[in-house]
Structure formats: C-alpha cells, structure tokens
Amino acid sequence: MTPPAREENVRPYGDKKGDGAVQVSFTLPVAKSAAATEAAKRYVAKMGLREPYVTLAESIAPEFTYFIVYARATHDVDMAGIVAEEAPAAALGREEIDRELSRRFGRRIVVLGCALESDAHTVGLDAIFNMKGYAGDYGLERYGAIDARNLGAQVPVAEVVRLVRETRADAVLVSATVTQNEIHVRHLTDLVDMLEAEGLRDRVVLIAGGARVDHALAKELGYDAGFGPGTTASRVAAFLLEELSRRAATASPA
Ligand code: B12
C-alpha cells in the first residue's frame, strides 16, 4: 500500500482503505453476562464508533469483565501541518556504531542505566541494556565500544549523581515507567536539577525512556532525547554516537 499523501485526511485501515476499522479494549466493573456485553456495545457506540462487535468478553474477577470490541470510526485526521519531533538517530547497525565509537573516541564510552527512586520496572531498561537484546536487536552490553552499566531499578537520584562523578560517565539512560500522579516527571526533573547543582549536567548525555515518554516530553524536562515504546538499543546507540560526536566537535580545546 502506498503511504498517504502528506496532505491527505486519513482514518484507520482494516479491510478497505477508509473503512475506519478500530479495536478498543476495556474492563467494565460488572459480572460477565449478556447485559454486560450489551453495555459494552452501547459504551463503544457512545464513543462515536459505529457497528460495535464484541469479539471477546472475559470474566477477569467476580465483578469485572474484560472486552475487546471491533467497530468503525467515521472521523479522520488531516496529516497536513503535523509536526512531531523524534530523537535524531540514524539507522545504523551495532557493528558500524561500535566501529565509529572506537574510531572517534579511542576509548569505551561509559553509559549508566537505571530506573529512579520508587520505580521498580526493569523490563524496558533491560531491553535496552541486556546483552541478549530485544526484538532481534542486541542490547548495549553487547557493544564492544560501550561500557554499559545497568544499575537496575529504584536507584536514588543522589546515587546516580554520585556514580556519574565516580565513573566519569558519558551518558545516563533513565527508564521511567510509573506515571501515576506525574511521579515520572518529578523523578526525571530531580535528576536534572541535582546534576545541574553539582555542575555535571553538561558532562553527560541524558536520555529518558518509557511507555509514556516521548522526545518532546524529554526535551521539555531538560533531557537530550526521549524514546518511547518499541525502542531498540541500536537506535539509542546511534543517537549516542551522534550526540557525543556533536559535543566533541563543539567542545573548546582544554
Ligand atoms: C511488568 C509490570 C510490572 C512488574 C515489574 C517487574 C519488573 N521487574 O519490571 C511489577 C509487578 C513489579 C509492577 C509493579 C507495579 N506496576 Co507495573 N506493569 C508492568 C507491565 C505489565 C509491563 C511493563 C513492561 O515490562 N513492559 C515491557 C517493556 C519492554 O516495555 P516498556 O517498559 O515500554 O519499554 C520499552 C520502551 O518504553 C523503551 N524504554 C523503556 N525504558 C527505557 C529507558 C531508556 C533509557 C530508553 C532509551 C528506552 C526505554 O524501550 C523499551 C523497549 O522498546 C505494565 C503494563 C503494560 N502492559 O505495559 C504495568 C504498568 C507499567 N504498571 C503499572 C503500575 C500502576 C504498577 C504499580 C504501581 C502497581 C501497584 N499498584 O502496585 C506497581 C509499581 C511498582 C513500583 N514501585 O514501581 C501501570 C502504570 C500506570 C501509570 N500510569 O503509571 C502499568 C502501565 C499497568 C496499568 N495499566 O495500570 N509492574
């Protein structure tokens, strides 16, 4: 299928172009029954979606039913004028990035990774760091030119700052998963503030990642880049190569 023209109004595609096919899933706080299924259909209709078809109704607790409903949307979105920034990262493979990092820096780049304070989620962070990799893409621990140190979850901000100083880290990669009450914003901001207070902010490339993180949010919070769902390590490594090279080129001679 050819991608939509830049100024085209687009809508979801299922079977035929423009059919508006969507799938929604949600849980209603009612026991599984025919009435619950009817309620799910009516709820989807109230969302402005047509022809709701319940394809799954499953009891997940005595008073809760989980639904997957297919339906048709009739509205569309105009692609014209949409601007959404993403972290600049060339599509490079691990071997090329390794070669370039070694050639340009002549030493191993120290990269720290963590989830901050109360955040105990490690899977996203491990996907980026773990030697075995994620989605067919090896993690940073596999890169010969990168000294990748995964500090794990629930690392206090002050400890990260201490390790930045001690290891002379080139980059810090923070995974922020829990967003309840904007806690991720607070933790991410605390790290920037403390690095700034210690005069270390400009010495490290700061990257944030997580399910609710994007490049725009990360930039707004004082990070150099942000990566969301589906990120693979080579994209992050390519960004590191680009950003560290840019900094080296603009650094004034000591
Ligand atoms: C597994 C899991 C847990 C496990 C974590 C185990 C572990 N060792 O990690 C356990 C059971 C401990 C847990 C606990 C909690 N969890 Co939880 N958890 C999940 C779950 C099911 C999967 C998350 C996951 O592993 N995703 C897979 C990875 C690969 O995806 P990812 O994190 O998005 O990572 C990718 C990108 O985002 C990006 N990325 C991520 N990090 C980084 C970092 C960098 C630097 C970069 C570049 C990229 C990057 O790259 C990754 C690969 O592409 C999600 C629901 C879901 N389906 O997403 C809830 C979820 C994240 N949890 C949630 C909640 C609320 C909690 C609890 C608060 C529940 C509770 N009331 O106790 C606790 C909090 C514990 C704590 N102190 O942090 C909510 C968060 C909602 C919100 N708005 O904040 C979710 C979304 C569930 C939900 N729908 O309510 N959880």
Return d(Cα 75, Cα 102) in angstroms, integer: 51
Return d(Cα 36, Cα 29) in angstroms, integer: 9
pLDDT value, residue 227: 96
Residue-wise pLDDT for 8-41, tens only, equals 889 999 999 989 999 999 999 999 999 999 999 9
> Separation of 114 CA from ligand 1 center, angstroms?
13
Which atom, in ligand 1's list, is nearest to the CA of 122? Answer: 9
pTM above 0.75, yes or no: yes
Positions in the chain short of pLDDT 50: 1-2, 4-6
When the candidates are 3.40.50.280, 3.30.1050.10, 3.40.50.720, 3.40.50.1100, the CATH number that belongs to 94-250 is 3.40.50.280
SS3 assignment, position 180: helix
> Separation of 91 CA from ligand 1 center, angstroms?
27
Q: What is the CATH number of domain 9-78?
A: 3.30.30.60
E strand or H helix at 51, and its extent? strand 50-61
pLDDT value, residue 1: 44
Mutation test of ligand 1: which of 60, 112, 121 has the most ligand atoms closer than 8 Å to its C-beta? 121
pLDDT value, residue 7: 54
